[in-house]
Amino acid sequence: MIDKELPIVLLEDNDADAFQDALTGLYNRRYLAEALRDECNRARRYRTPLSLLIVDVDSLKQCNEEHGRQAGNEVIKLVAAAVAKSCRSCDIVARYGGDEFAVVLPDTDAGAAMAVAERILDELGNRHLRWLGVSLPIAASLGLHTATKPAQLSPTVIIERADEQLRQAKRQGKGRVTAEPAEPGQAVLPENSGGTGR
């Protein structure tokens, strides 16, 4: 069950059910779409980086097949709690799909975003699900993309690039985070501008 001491990333009881994931208590995909759009607009306006993490639960299908869907749901809730605990008050955590979560990291460069990703992996490494006398390890793969240019600041581009990094993590053996190499001196600037950001 998700820690009730995490109101910064969980919805309050009086928030609209339309934006809440029933299983985890996190924001849902509908809310994520609106929040990511708003954060892209904000990053473009203030010339700040915007990062997105996609977290995919490893081996959930195998867990469901061997231990049942109820066990799989408990794994999803444990991962949700670990992700929420690892994030900051300004971050937006949502359930993105059946076994996927997304974390929007406003005003966050690649290095700071990687630090959040590593906290998530560390937190997951400390968790196991006790299920019918069996200890099931909890693991996930993460894909990270940091948008630093105006052309990258669209929900479609950010999601596609983070998802590609997630696929890289899966191909490299799961239980890890991958990200595009940072470009030297990255900064979000308007096109044809010689400024240095804010």
Active site residues: 99
Is the distance from CB of 76 to CB of 101 less than 8 angstroms? no
Give dist(CA 162, CA 180) in Å, integer.
Answer: 9
Strand partners of residue 77: none
Strand partners of residue 50: 106, 147
Give dist(CA 187, CA 198) in Å, integer.
Answer: 9
Place of tokens 């993490």: 53
Q: Any residues with CB less than 8 A from the CB of 181 and at least 6 apart, and which? A: none
Q: Which of 109, 97, 173 lies closest to 141, judged by CA?
A: 173
Residue 16 burial class via C-beta count within 10 angstroms: exposed 0-12, middle 13-18, buried 19 and up: exposed
| Residue 73: how many other CB atoms lie within 10 Å | 15
